[in-house]
């Protein structure tokens, strides 16, 4: 290719930054589905998750999303809830958001009765299964454990840590235009206070409200910063006290996402 052509092409992108941004030229910003699992058949109750649910509902409503809340869904009902969303017409919407609040392991989330692979949930919104969201950003925010290790913080990380044994997986994302923001990295515990809710959701909502003008990955980087630097567990057990938490962003977005016009 002619080098001059490359220079000309580069200038065109520089002069038109909207080429790197998902379109916001729609009547509605989008739908936000919150699946909030608190009570389980065989797992412990997730006390404090109702605080997260209320904060999320207020935050995304303030961002002009149409918010739908589903509580205590079985694995099959979680899939059905997303299936119903995929069958809706999102033609006039700029994006879709799903927040999942539950117990989890690495690569799976708990319904009230059993685990379901996270990829089974995200793939319901693929372009083939939801054509009206094709080419639009699908954002998943996940407050759940991804293992049982406790993060001691960078000062005492060992070379054979669980994080290195279990490298970050991208299999949960079926294709481009998806982003998953996790409350913690693979293999690790995700903290939640029974009275105040979870640290990750609190900072996520705070950063979304304070930084509406920023692109979504920049907002989430600030969430990572706040959780990683400001949080430290405080328990009566020396094995779980003074532990840290590091959220994780896995993005297959092809453009920048702005949630406000």
Residue 44 in any domain: the answer is yes
Q: State the 10-residue block means of pLDDT for the chain, 261 residues long.
A: 53 71 96 98 96 98 98 98 98 98 96 97 97 98 91 51 43 90 94 92 97 96 95 68 87 95 67
pTM of the entire predicted model:
0.87
| Residue 97: how many other CB atoms lie within 10 Å | 23
Residue 261 in any domain: the answer is no
Total structural domains within the chain: 1
H helices then E strands: how many in the chain?
7, 11
State the catalytic residue, choosing from 95, 103, 180, 205.
Answer: 103
Residue 41 in any domain: the answer is yes
Residue 257 in any domain: the answer is no
Residue 15 in any domain: the answer is yes
Residue 260 in any domain: the answer is no
Residue 258 in any domain: the answer is no
**Catalytic residue status for 145:** yes
Distance CA 104, CA 49 (A): 14
The partner residues of 231 in beta bridges, in order of sequence, read: none
Predicted pLDDT of residue 174: 86
Are the C-beta atoms of 132 and 125 separated by less than 8 Å? no
**Catalytic residue status for 103:** yes
Alpha helices in 41-161 (DSSP H): 49-62, 75-86, 118-122
Domain extent for 53: 3-251
Predicted pLDDT of residue 184: 95
State the catalytic residue, choosing from 95, 130, 145, 180.
Answer: 145
> Residue 47 maps to which CATH number?
3.40.50.1460
User: CA–CA distance from 239 to each of 45, 126, 133 (Å)?
Assistant: 22, 41, 45
Residue 69 in any domain: the answer is yes
**Beta-carbon contacts of residue 96 (< 8 Å; ≥ 6 apart):** 30, 31, 32, 33, 85, 90, 125, 133, 136, 137, 138, 139
């Amino acid at each position: 290719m002619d080098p001059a052509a490359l220079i000309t092409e580069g200038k065109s992108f520089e002069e038109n930054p909207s080429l790197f941004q998902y379109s916001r030229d729609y009547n509605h910003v989008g739908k936000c589905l919150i699946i909030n699992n608190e009570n389980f058949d065989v797992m412990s109750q997730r006390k404090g998750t109702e605080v997260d649910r209320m904060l999320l509902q207020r935050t995304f409503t303030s961002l002009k999303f149409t918010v739908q809340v589903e509580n205590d869904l079985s694995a099959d009902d979680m899939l059905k809830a997303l299936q119903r969303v995929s069958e809706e017409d999102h033609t006039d919407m700029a994006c879709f958001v799903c927040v999942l609040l539950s117990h989890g392991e690495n690569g799976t989330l708990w319904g009230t009765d059993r685990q379901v692979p996270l990829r089974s949930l995200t793939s319901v919104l693929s372009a083939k299964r939801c054509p009206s969201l094709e080419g639009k950003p699908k954002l998943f925010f996940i407050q759940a454990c991804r293992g049982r290790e406790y993060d001691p913080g960078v000062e005492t990380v060992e070379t054979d840590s669980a994080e290195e044994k279990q490298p970050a997986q991208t299999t949960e994302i079926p294709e481009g235009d998806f982003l998953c923001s996790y409350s913690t990295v693979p293999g690790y515990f995700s903290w939640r206070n029974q009275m105040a809710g979870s640290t990750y959701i609190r900072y996520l909502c705070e950063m979304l409200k304070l930084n509406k003008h920023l692109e979504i990955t920049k907002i989430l980087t600030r969430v990572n910063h706040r959780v990683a630097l400001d949080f430290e567990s405080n328990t009566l057990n020396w094995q779980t006290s003074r532990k840290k938490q590091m959220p994780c962003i896995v993005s297959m977005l092809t453009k920048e996402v702005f949630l406000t016009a």
